Amino acid sequence: MSDLDGQVALVTGGSRGIGAATARVFAEAGARVVITHRDSADEAEEVRASMPGEGHRVIKASAADTTAIEAAAASVAATEGRLDVLVNNAARTKVIPHGDMESLTDELFDAILQTNVRGTFATIRAFRGLLADGNGGLVVNISSLAARMAGGSNVAYCASKAAMDNMTLSLARALAPKIRVLSVAPGLVDTKFTSQWDPKVKERYLERTALGRLPTPEDIGRAVLVAWTHLTCTTGAIIPVDGGRPLG
């Protein structure tokens, strides 16, 4: 991997899971990393303290709060003075069977779209100026296999990730050539959440996954890093990291 010394990455929702792993991957590669969180200050600080290198910091900014996002952008401009990579990882969901339409209330549906779709757009809009400076930057939206297969945690979540992928294409066109925009789309990821699943359900999922394993959060983080360091002539792409699940 390339040495990212002097470069700055921002990871939204970086206090746990994929966001925390991605933040650590970029720090290990030499970047200064800013992570945002909505309401998990202690966990975010633990992630910051665990990262190698110096200059990492935490900002409280919910993806659903445009004012907070704009304040975060102003803070990065004043403190770091640059942004090379923006990783839109912050997301909201709740496990609800797709046929249980009554449990997917209007309030929850709106909250999922507000964070996963509008929040992603608002974050890109707020950081656009910083990303376009110098040689240009990269936006990576953390999408999901659910956008393609409609089999995620609930109907609204699947719809939100499909919207995110469509927005990735639109913004890749609109922000070129200074800013590249990609989606990285994990399948089911091996996290604390999935470790609590019924082993039989997990086994059936793995039987239909070509590589026979779930991607780890670190797999996702490395895919994001490669998009920055090696896929330098790629934009508007949806990159799967799913173990070959659609092949099953």
What does the domain layout of the chain look like in residue ranges?
8-247
For 246, phi and psi rounded to 5 degrees?
A: -65, -15
Task: For domain 8-247, give the CATH superfamily.
Answer: NAD(P)-binding Rossmann-like Domain (3.40.50.720)
Per residue in 122-161, pLDDT tens?
Answer: 999 999 999 999 889 999 999 999 999 999 899 999 999 9
Q: How far apart are CA 54 and CA 45, in angstroms?
A: 14
- Among 121, 127, 157, 205, which one carries the catalytic annotation? 157
User: The sheet that has 8-11: what strands, in order across it?
Assistant: 57-60, 32-37, 8-11, 85-88, 137-142, 179-186, 238-241
Active site residue 205: no
Provide the token pair at 244: 């070959």
Q: How far apart are CA 37 and CA 217, in angstroms?
A: 17
Provide the token pair at 239: 């990159």
Pairing label, strands 179-186, 137-142: parallel
Per residue in 69-107, pLDDT tens?
Answer: 999 999 999 999 999 999 999 999 999 999 999 999 999
